[in-house]
């Protein structure tokens, strides 16, 4: 299940300590409850997998038809919101390392 499109309001809580090389436990203690409370932790732990882009259905004659999955763009929107939230809560030193990893 995905949450509603009110994602931006749900992850607006204050994080007083951005992630550095030395404060992971403190940072995680602040970020994890906000992600759980907003219903978005599944994007982080993988329990909300990306839905298929297309839905395949069969008509009464067995002919297959594909159509866009309406859940896919919602998932992408929310996943990108979570990513932005996490990136915004990284220190500059950590952000530089994260953004250079492919």
| C-alpha distance from residue 33 to each of 4, 50, 77, 96 (Å) | 18, 22, 21, 25
Mean pLDDT confidence for 64-85 = 96
- Domain ranges for the chain, please list them: 23-100
Q: How confident is the model at residue 4 (pLDDT cuts 50, 70, 90)?
A: very low
What pLDDT score does 71 carry? 97
Residue 46 pLDDT more than 50? yes
| Average pLDDT across the chain, whole number | 89
Q: Please state whether 19 falls in left (phi above 0), alpha (psi between -120 and 50) or beta.
A: beta
Mean pLDDT confidence for 4-11 = 53
What pLDDT score does 18 carry? 96
């Amino acid at each position: 299940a995905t949450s509603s499109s009110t994602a931006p309001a749900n992850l607006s809580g204050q994080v007083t300590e951005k992630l550095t090389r030395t404060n992971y436990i403190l940072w995680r203690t602040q970020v994890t409850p906000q992600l759980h409370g907003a219903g978005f932790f599944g994007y982080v732990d993988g329990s909300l997998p990306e839905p298929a882009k297309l839905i395949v259905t069969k008509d009464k004659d067995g002919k297959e038809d594909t159509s866009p999955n309406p859940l896919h763009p919602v998932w992408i929107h929310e996943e990108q919101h979570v990513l932005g939230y996490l990136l915004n809560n990284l220190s500059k030193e950590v952000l530089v390392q994260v953004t250079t990893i492919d």
